[in-house]
Amino acid sequence: MTGAGPLRYRPHHFLCSLGFQGKGYSETFTANMSAIVMGRLRAPGGDETLIEVTGTADAICAPCPKRQGEGCEAGGKIARLDAAHAYVLNLAPGDRLTWGEAKARIRASVPAGSLRQLCAGCEWEPLGLCEAALAALHAEEG
Ligand code: SF4
């Protein structure tokens, strides 16, 4: 899933990738997400990485211990996160955009301070790492 062709991302993983700081659900999950986020998106030229939106398990989910086929054992919570993020970022399955375009869309559509509501139910949200990354993205605007 991380080879040639666009990266496949479900809607809420755009913001998760912005906030990722090396924490995850298992060693293999974290290694895979690090390879994608640090190794591709945040690497030189990473803004050009093409991403295709999917409604099911994606490149981040692939080695997750909670994945069940194309679904997730936390299905209801994940569906709510995906629906909320898809709405605010105007994403639908099949859409293609670069990581740079995704960050621009996050800057335009997700105000700092909004993750408590947008990401309600996510176990990582209370840590504040994603909110800090969102604030940093807004600060980059100058
Ligand atoms: S708080 Fe959770 S759902 Fe929201 S961006 Fe962070 S990891 Fe993703």
What residues does each domain of the chain span? Answer: 7-140
Task: For residue 3, name the pLDDT band (cuts at 50, 70, 90).
Answer: low
The model carries a pTM of 0.94
Contact between residue 81 and residue 122 where contact means Cβ atoms under 8 Å apart: yes
Q: In this structure, what token pair is assigned to residue 70?
A: 């194309």
89: Cβ below 6 Å to ligand 1? no
Q: How far apart are CA 142 and CA 66, in angstroms?
A: 39
For a ligand 1 pocket test, name from 110, 119, 131 the mutation site with the most ligand atoms within 8 angstroms of its C-beta: 119
Q: How does pLDDT run across 81-125, given as a tens digit for each residue?
A: 999 999 999 999 999 999 999 999 999 999 999 999 999 999 999
Centroid of ligand 1 to alpha carbon of 14 (angstroms): 9
Q: How does pLDDT run across 41-93, given as a tens digit for each residue?
A: 999 999 999 999 999 999 999 999 999 999 999 999 999 999 999 999 999 99
Q: How far apart are CA 51 and CA 25, in angstroms?
A: 23
12: Cβ below 6 Å to ligand 1? yes
Mean per-residue pLDDT of the chain: 95
Q: How far apart are CA 48 and CA 43, in angstroms?
A: 10
